[in-house]
C-alpha cells in the first residue's frame, strides 16, 4: 500500500504517516519527488491494510491511498514519484542521461585495465567495468584476480576519474569489493542468490542487477526488491540476453523488455549487448538499437587486445570499434534528447 501525500503536506505530517505505518507492523518507506511525496507501507500484515487505508484516506494532507498489488513493491512504478536516477560515483544513470559502462570482461593486469580505462574514457564512457571475481562456467577457467584486481581497478579510476563497477560473485566478496568500487554488479547466474542480493543491498553502493539467464521480468523485479528491501534503492537493471532455442547468438537479447520494465518499475534499465551476442560484430547494432528503444544506458565489454583476453575473447570490442560505436550512440542519443 502507498500513501500519496498532497504537495502541501508538511514534514511533520510525513513523519506522522510513517509512525502510524510502523505502529501497524509495516515498514515505512518515504520517496520524495518534485511533485509529491509518497510513503510506502511494506509488510505482511494484510489484516491491518484496510484499516490503515481507511484511516489515511480521511486525512486532509493525503491525496490518495493506493494498494500495491504487485509482489514487488518498492521497485514498482507506484512506489515512487517519477522515474529514478541512480548515481554511481557522481555519474547519473537514468532520466535524460544515457550512461555507458565499458571496460574489459576481466581485470587481467594493471597495464591491461589501465589501457582499457584510458580508451573507454577517451571514447566517451562514463563508468569503468572489469571483473575481479569472475563467474565462470568451468572451474578450470580464469576465475579473476580477486582483491589484486580490485586494486588495479581503483588505480585506473584514480587516473581516469571513471567510477568503477565490479561484480561480487558471493556474499563474502561484497565487503572487499565495496572498499574499492563505486557500484556492485550482480551477475546473471546470481540474480536469485538472495543472500548476495541482501549483502549487496546492505553495502549501500549502487547495485547493477543483471537479468538471470531464464528470468521473467517478475522474477527480476522481485530480485531487485531484495536489494530495495534492505533500504538500498540505488539499483540499475541490466538486460543481458536470455536463453532461447536460437543458437546463432550466445543468448537472445530481449530488447523489447526495456519498455516493459519501464512500465512496471521506476528503476533505470540498461542493455548489455556483449554477453547477449557473444560476437563483437553484433555488438554495435544492438548498442544503436538500445538507444532507440529508450534504454538508460549500455554495458559494453572493451579490451585492448581481445584475441588474447582470458575471458570472453570473441565479444569484447577493440578500442577503435568502441570509439566508432560511441559516436553513433552520441548521435542517436541527441535525437532522443539524451545526454551521453
Ligand atoms: C559480466 O558482465 O562479465 C558477466 C559475467 O555477465 P553475465 O553475468 O551477464 O553473464
Ligand atoms: Mn564477460
CATH assignment of the domain containing 19: 3.30.70.1140
Mutate to test the pocket of ligand 1, among 130, 135, 189, 313 (most ligand atoms within 8 A of CB): 135
pLDDT in tens, the chain (340 residues): 889 999 889 999 999 999 999 998 898 988 887 778 889 888 867 787 888 888 898 899 999 998 888 889 999 998 888 899 999 999 999 999 999 999 999 999 999 999 999 999 999 999 999 999 999 999 999 999 999 999 999 999 999 999 999 999 999 999 999 999 999 999 999 999 999 999 999 999 999 999 999 999 999 999 999 999 998 999 999 999 999 999 999 999 999 999 999 999 999 999 999 999 999 999 999 999 999 999 999 999 999 999 999 999 999 999 999 999 999 999 999 999 999 9
Q: What residue owns the CA closest to ligand 1's atom 8?
A: 187
Question: Total domain count for the chain?
Answer: 2
Kindly report the protein residue whose alpha carbon is nearest to atom 9 of ligand 1. Answer: 188
Does 55 share its domain with 104?
Answer: no
Whether 95 and 52 map to the same domain: the answer is: no
Q: What is the pLDDT of residue 97?
A: 97
Do residues 224 and 287 share a domain?
A: yes
Tell me the CA–centroid distance for residue 106 and ligand 2, in Å. Answer: 7
Q: Nearest bound ligand to CA 302?
A: 2
Tell how far CA 146 is from the center of its chain.
22
User: 183 C-alpha vs ligand 1 centroid, how far in Å?
Assistant: 15
Which atom of ligand 1 lies closest to the CA of 240? 9
Q: Are residues 31 and 174 in the same domain?
A: no
Residue 77 lies in a domain: no
Parent domain of 51: 2-69
Do 33 and 124 share a structural domain?
A: no
The pLDDT of residue 42 is 85
Residues 140 and 230 in one domain: yes
**Chain centroid to CA 237:** 4
In 3D, which of 70, 120, 74, 91 has the Cα closest to residue 296? 91
Query: H-type helices in the chain, by residue range?
Result: 11-23, 49-57, 110-123, 147-160, 171-180, 194-202, 217-229, 257-264, 273-277, 283-293, 319-335
Decide if 255 contacts 290 (C-beta within 8 A): yes
Q: Is 37 helix (H, G, I), strand (E, B) or coil?
A: strand
Closest ligand 1 atom, residue 188 Cα? 8
For residue 101, give the CATH number of its domain: 3.20.20.70
As given in the structure block, the three cell numbers for residue 191 are 540474480
- φ, ψ for residue 92 (rounded to 5)? -80, 140
C-alpha distances (whole Å) from 158 to each of 66, 128, 162, 338 are 46, 11, 8, 27
**Is 65 in contact with 267 (CB distance < 8 Å)?**
no
Rounded CA gap, 162 and 327, in Å? 19
Which secondary structure element, helix H or strand E, spans residue 29, and what is its range? strand 27-32
Residue 75 lies in a domain: no
**Which ligand is located closest to the Cα atom of residue 237?**
1
Query: What is the pLDDT, as a whole number, of residue 86?
Result: 98
Q: Which residue among 107, 133, 138, 240 has the greatest number of ligand 1 atoms within 8 angstroms of its CB, and so is best to mutate?
A: 240
* 235 in any annotated domain: yes
Query: Do residues 204 and 292 share a domain?
Result: yes
pLDDT score of 50: 84
Whole-prediction pTM: 0.93
Q: Indicate which ligand has the atom closest to the C-alpha of 311.
A: 2
Q: Check if the beta carbon of residue 176 is closer than 8 Å to that of residue 160.
A: no
Task: Please give the pLDDT value at position 49.
Answer: 80
| Residue 57 within any structural domain of the chain | yes
Instruction: Give residue 92's Cα distance to chain centre.
Output: 12
What atom of ligand 1 comes closest to residue 241's alpha carbon? 9
**93 and 57 share one domain:** no
CA of 188 to the centre of ligand 1 (A): 6
The pLDDT of residue 314 is: 97
The ligand 1 atom nearest the CA atom of 134: 5
Residue 103 lies in a domain: yes
What is the residue whose three cell numbers read 535525437?
335
Of the listed ligands, the closest to the CA of 193 is: 1
39 Cβ neighbours under 8 A, 6+ residues apart: 2, 3, 5, 14, 17, 18, 21, 28, 29, 30, 31
Q: Whose CA is nearest to atom 3 of ligand 1?
A: 105
Of the candidates 14, 12, 193, the one whose C-alpha atom is nearest the C-alpha of residue 209 is: 193
Q: What is the DSSP string of 229-279?
A: HTT---EEEEE--B--S--SSSSB--TTHHHHHHHHBSS-EEE-HHHHH-S
Amino acid at each position: 500500500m502507498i500513501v500519496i501525500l498532497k504537495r502541501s503536506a508538511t514534514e511533520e505530517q510525513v513523519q506522522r504517516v510513517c509512525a502510524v505505518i510502523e505502529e501497524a507492523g509495516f515498514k515505512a518507506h518515504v520517496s520524495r519527488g518534485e511533485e509529491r511525496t509518497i510513503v510506502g507501507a511494506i509488510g505482511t500484515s494484510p489484516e491491518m491494510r484496510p484499516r490503515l487505508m481507511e484511516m489515511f484516506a480521511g486525512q486532509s494532507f493525503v491525496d490518495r491511498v493506493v494498494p500495491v498489488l504487485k509482489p514487488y513493491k518498492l521497485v514498482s512504478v507506484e512506489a515512487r514519484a517519477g522515474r529514478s536516477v541512480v548515481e554511481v560515483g557522481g555519474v547519473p544513470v537514468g532520466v535524460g542521461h544515457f550512461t555507458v559502462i565499458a571496460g574489459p570482461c576481466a581485470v587481467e593486469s594493471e597495464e591491461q585495465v589501465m589501457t582499457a580505462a584510458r580508451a573507454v574514457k577517451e571514447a566517451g564512457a562514463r563508468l569503468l567495468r572489469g571483473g575481479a571475481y569472475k563467474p565462470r562456467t568451468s572451474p578450470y577457467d580464469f576465475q579473476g584476480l580477486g582483491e589484486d584486481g580490485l586494486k588495479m581497478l581503483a588505480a585506473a579510476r584514480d587516473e581516469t576519474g571513471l567510477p568503477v563497477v565490479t561484480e561480487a560473485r558471493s556474499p563474502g566478496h561484497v565487503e572487499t569489493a565495496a572498499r574499492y568500487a563505486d557500484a556492485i554488479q550482480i551477475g546473471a547466474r546470481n540474480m536469485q542468490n538472495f543472500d548476495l542480493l541482501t549483502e549487496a543491498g546492505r553495502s549501500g553502493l549502487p547495485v547493477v542487477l543483471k537479468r538471470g539467464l531464464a528470468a521473467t521480468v517478475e522474477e527480476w523485479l522481485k530480485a531487485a526488491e531484495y536489494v530495495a528491501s534492505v533500504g538500498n534503492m540505488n539499483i540499475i537493471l541490466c538486460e543481458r540476453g536470455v536463453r532461447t532455442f536460437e543458437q546463432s547468438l550466445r543468448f537472445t537479447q530481449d530488447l523489447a523488455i526495456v519498455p516493459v520494465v519501464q512500465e512496471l518499475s521506476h528503476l533505470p534499465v540498461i542493455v548489455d549487448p556483449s554477453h547477449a551476442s557473444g560476437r563483437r560484430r553484433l555488438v554495435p547494432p544492438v548498442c544503436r538499437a538500445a538507444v532507440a528503444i529508450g534504454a538508460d544506458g549500455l554495458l559494453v565489454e572493451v579490451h585492448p587486445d581481445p584475441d588474447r583476453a582470458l575471458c570472453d575473447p570473441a565479444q569484447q570490442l577493440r578500442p577503435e570499434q568502441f570509439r566508432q560505436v560511441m559516436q553513433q550512440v552520441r548521435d542517436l542519443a541527441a535525437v532522443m534528447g539524451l545526454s551521453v
